[in-house]
Amino acid sequence: MSIVRYFLIVILSVIFGFFGLRFYDNYSESTEINTFLEEAYIVSTLHNKSSKEYSKLIDFDEINRDNFETTFIEIIRNAQEANNILMNSDSNYSGSEKELLEIATVSWLRGLEMFQISILNLVDQEYSQLYEESIAESISNLSVGDKAYKNFLTEINNKSENENIFLPEFFNIEYTGIESNAYQFAELIVDRAIENKSGLFLKRDISVAGVEFVPESIATTEDGLNVLLDQEISLQIVIANQGNIEETEVVILILITDEAGESIYEKRAKINTIGPYESKSYFLDPIKIEKGIVHEWFILVEEVENEEDFEDNIYSVKAFIPPED
């Protein structure tokens, strides 16, 4: 009787072990695919947003350089994040759906990065057939991504139906929808970009827009000298960005001299950022100048790379405090 009981226990243990293992395998598989679906949903959301922004940009309708660059930076940032999510996936799921989604994200990222560089080269440099070919290649990559993503949707929906898996809402994403005529579409993009080149063309121009004494001067002589109150004087310097992209780390040099040309004050300052067509003020430290002596304030804003006009980067103004009677 003990032998029968022993064999019964062994058989039950084997049965429970078998079903327990099956349950664990099914649970693990379910966990892996759910994790993948969560990641895939984030990827779909990121590229849904980016593809809509991209479609607006390639119309080149009343677009400016700063808007183009900042929008494209965000588009590529989203594409990089989507790619990183899959490349560093927390899921060990290895179905064909994941492979298709990986192909889509890699192709989209490659195409977007190439497109951004090619378009800016097209408008900033002398026209070259190489730029048009590069744009065509970028469109071809985007098309490969579109096709892979479309196949991903088909396969993941079939898997959902066959295995009764609940799916998050995956967006329909299409950057170009073109498979065979990328070069023809590239010609259209090139024509649009060149037609709107004035808006996309890189323009960099920083200037000293004006100055004002603080407190304000009380009068101006016939020679253009500012008459100041007998107290510490500061200067408000207005720096303007007349270009079409944001400038960073704009350097201002200030020098104050007396009638003999001797320096009585020197300052090197920096404005962190100035947006396109924006002005910002910098206030000089208050200083005390000697009465009855004309002083001159020299202001220089350092030219930025490829600046078009740097003649307006220099500004000077003269002022004095009247001597005592």
- Predicted confidence (pLDDT) at residue 33 exceeds the cutoff of 60: yes
pLDDT (average), residues 70-81: 94
Local confidence band at 222 (pLDDT 50, 70, 90 cut-offs): confident
Residue 281: its pLDDT value, please? 94
Lowest mean pLDDT among 9-23, 89-103, 126-140, 282-296: 9-23
- Predicted confidence (pLDDT) at residue 253 exceeds the cutoff of 60: yes
Q: Contact 102/94 with Cβ under 8 angstroms?
A: no
Local confidence band at 75 (pLDDT 50, 70, 90 cut-offs): very high
Local confidence band at 74 (pLDDT 50, 70, 90 cut-offs): very high
Local confidence band at 25 (pLDDT 50, 70, 90 cut-offs): very low
CA atoms within 13 A on the CB side of 138: 23
pLDDT (average), residues 6-27: 48
pLDDT in tens, 264-289: 999 999 999 998 889 999 999 999 99
In total, the chain counts a number of residues equal to: 325
pLDDT in tens, 36-52: 999 999 999 999 999 99
- Predicted confidence (pLDDT) at residue 294 exceeds the cutoff of 90: yes
User: Could you tell me whether strands 279-283 and 247-257 are parallel, antiparallel, or unpaired per DSSP bridges?
Assistant: unpaired
Local confidence band at 19 (pLDDT 50, 70, 90 cut-offs): very low
Local confidence band at 179 (pLDDT 50, 70, 90 cut-offs): low
